[in-house]
Amino acid sequence: MNAINAVIDTLNVPPAVKTDLSRFIQELITLYREDLHSITAFGSSVRGEYREKTSDLNLLVVYHDLEIADLARVAEVARRWQRKRNFAPRFLSKRNLVDTARYFQVDVLHLKHTSALLFGHDILGGLPESLPDMRWQIAHETKKIRMRLKQQFWRTAGDRAAMAAVIARRSSSLVSLLRATLYLAERQYHETPWQVIDAASRNLGIDAGALERLLALKHAARPNAAELNEAFTALMNIIRALDAKIETIPA
């Protein structure tokens, strides 16, 4: 566990979370030592954006082989730590991850650039990169958000908590798609949201001020109705701009 704890210490999370993460990983290893291929932390805990009360601690847990029945052994352990610390493990088999990687190139891109191997063998480095598939996924996800955003607005209008939750989810997805689009355009990965905002403004024509306000609103205590309505409008405008831009970027 010393090597695992050394990597955990590099994560940008509070000491108590690090201690509990070490315990959770030890439980996984005890349950699945022979079948466990790797455990990898990714996302906000690696990028330095983790917030203890609102962020999930994302983990990729890969098995040599994994069936639905196998998850019964870990279900209660995972639920307990999810309730206590917002640990969010994604359980996959090695075959499943390798076979589906080309269809989730945006996700693979982010995993490769913002992850920390906690246990086992590196599987992410060997996953193939396909820029045409990445471009297709960006276009698909952008159009999906564009189609759903107005429906989400009328369904949540007047419910400030629900509106804020939609804005938080969609803003995070938007930053992820902008990162991937910038990678396609520049072959450079921008890690922090502020790097994404700056590069998206310069190279994609995205309204930096609107994007900054969206990200600030994610952490606002009680945004008012006018701010939420403006945020939905800003989201739609940026999504439309990205939808048009991705069609012009060669892969």
What was the pLDDT predicted at 166? Answer: 94
The domain segmentation of the chain, as residue ranges, is: 2-126, 131-246
Q: What mean pLDDT comes out for the span 105-109?
A: 97
Dihedral of CA atoms 218, 223, 226, 227 in degrees, nearest 10, equals: -30
Other CB atoms within a 10 A radius of the CB of residue 154 amount to 8
The answer on pLDDT for 102 being more than 90 is: yes
At 176-234, the pLDDT tens digits run: 999 999 999 999 999 889 999 999 999 999 999 999 999 888 777 788 999 999 999 99
Parallel, antiparallel or unpaired: strands 57-63 and 87-93 = parallel
At 132-149, the pLDDT tens digits run: 999 999 999 999 999 999
Band of residue 17 on the pLDDT scale cut at 50, 70, 90? very high
The type of residue at 187 is: R
- Average pLDDT score over the chain: 93
Tell me phi and psi for residue 195, to 5 degrees: -65, -40
Q: What mean pLDDT comes out for the span 29-45?
A: 92
What was the pLDDT predicted at 218? Answer: 77
User: Which of the four CATH numbers 3.30.460.10, 1.10.260.40, 3.40.50.300, 3.90.1150.10 does domain 2-126 have?
Assistant: 3.30.460.10
For the chain, the straight-line distance linking the first and the last C-alpha, in angstroms and rounded, comes to: 42
Segments in the chain forming alpha helices (H): 2-8, 15-32, 44-47, 75-85, 94-100, 105-113, 131-156, 160-186, 193-204, 208-218, 225-246
